[in-house]
Structures are given as C-alpha cells and as structure tokens.
Amino acid sequence: MIYCARTDKGMVRTNNEDAFYLPEGEDVPLLFIVADGMGGHNSGEVASRMAVEEISSHINRSLSVCVPENACNKDCCGNETLQVIKEAFYDANMKIYRTSIEREECCGMGTTATMALFKDGKVYIGHVGDSRAYILRDEGIRQLTKDHSLVWQLFEEGRLTLEEVRCHPMKNVITRALGVGEKVEVDLMELEYKKGDIFLLCSDGLTNMLEDTEIRDIILDAKSLDAAADKLIEAANSNGGLDNITVEIVLVV
C-alpha cells in the first residue's frame, strides 16, 4: 500500500477540529481513520482526537493477538474483524460521552469517525457520521458510506436530489455521531480490493466544496498521492474552504 494524508483548517475556521490516523511502522494493521469533531470551546477537536486514539488503539491491540490467517476460516475471521471494529467504536463512543459529562468545557461534544482496515485481501469499513469513504476503480468513483445526516435521509426518501443535498442549508445537521449518547449504531461493510484501487477517506470539508467527479479528476490527474492530496485541499479552499478539510488517500499496489 502507498498512502498519504493532509489536513487543513480551511479559509473560515480559526482552528482545526479534524483528526486522522495513519499506520506507523511495518508491523501494525493497515488502518486509516478520519474524524470530524463538533462542539463548543474547541471541544470538537478533543472528541475527534479521542475517537482516533481509542479506535486505533483498540484495533491495533485486538488484531495483534489474533490467530494467523491460515489458522482460521476466512469468513469467521472476517466476522471477528467486524466485531473488533464495532467494539472499537463502542469504546470510543462511551469514552467521549463520559468525558462530555464529566468536563463542563466538553459538554455536548461529539465527532464523526470513518475508518478503513486492509486485511487478508479485504477492506473493512466502519462509519458513523458524515465523513466519507470512496473507492476509485477503473477511472470511476463510488461513495462507499452513507451520510448520517438529515439531508441524506431526505435524499434516500426521494425528497431531495443529490444536487439539492449538496446545496441544502441544513446539510451539516448530522443524525449520528460518537459521544452524543450512551449507545451508537455503527455502519460496517467489507469488500475485496484489487491492485490499482484507490481509497479516499475525507471529512465533509472536502465533499461540501467539491463534486465527486472533481475529486476523481484531481486524484487521477495528479502525478503522485501527495500531489493529489495537496490539490484536493487547495481546490476545497479555492471554492470557499468553509470547514476544516482532511483527506487520506490509499493506493493498492
């Protein structure tokens, strides 16, 4: 795998409440996370950082003690991997929720979290909120996650078009996040990947500023992943940069 990440506070916000995780070292799971925090008194950045730290530590710790691939049924191992991801999200949710209750300055904080774990020829996605995961394959782009937002719900009900979703004044109202309650529902999925696939994780600071086709063209036209990430940030800022922007790009080689 070849990968990179970039984050930027954008053109309007005074601080960056996004957080991300990349694998560090050769003997750790190929795990990638993007989180977009929310809350007053800068507590959004506390929530997003806690989500990234708790999810990554739980998954890294759990998978380091898993049995070898050749010692288990792949379907069974896949189910166990999804369970580990679910538990990681649950733990992160409870930690953020308790902190929001115990610390007055963190009251009401929460965060999105979207992650991708590459393991045994598959990518496992865990998702809460409106940060997104995409796959670019055969020069096309496909959104893998569904936004947990009011406007996405209206879109699925046929009451809004995709263009209306992008421009709607309530597009930032999310219906699911980590830390806002004692329990949270986590979206999970798995799919096989192949050589040449490109995966993108990003906060809505990117997708609110750029169409999917613009994102695709920037990534495919760039000379490197680093250049693609830089150009995505630059393009989002050129279109207004109304929010923090975080991107992670992973190329399967």
In a domain, 154, yes or no: yes
Q: What's the chain's average pLDDT? A: 91
The range of the structural domain enclosing residue 39 comes to: 16-208
Average confidence (pLDDT) over 185-197? 97
How much of the chain exceeds pLDDT 90, in percent?
Answer: 75
In a domain, 45, yes or no: yes
- Please check the confidence at residue 70 and state whether its pLDDT lies above 70: no
In a domain, 226, yes or no: no
Average confidence (pLDDT) over 190-208? 96
In a domain, 113, yes or no: yes
- Please check the confidence at residue 152 and state whether its pLDDT lies above 90: no
In a domain, 244, yes or no: no
Domain count of the fold of the chain: 1
In a domain, 215, yes or no: no
Q: Give the pLDDT confidence of 46-66 residue by residue, as tens digits.
A: 999 999 999 999 999 998 755
In a domain, 91, yes or no: yes
Q: Residue 108 sits in a domain of what CATH number?
A: 3.60.40.10
In a domain, 110, yes or no: yes
Across the chain, which distance is largest between two alpha carbons, in Å? Answer: 52
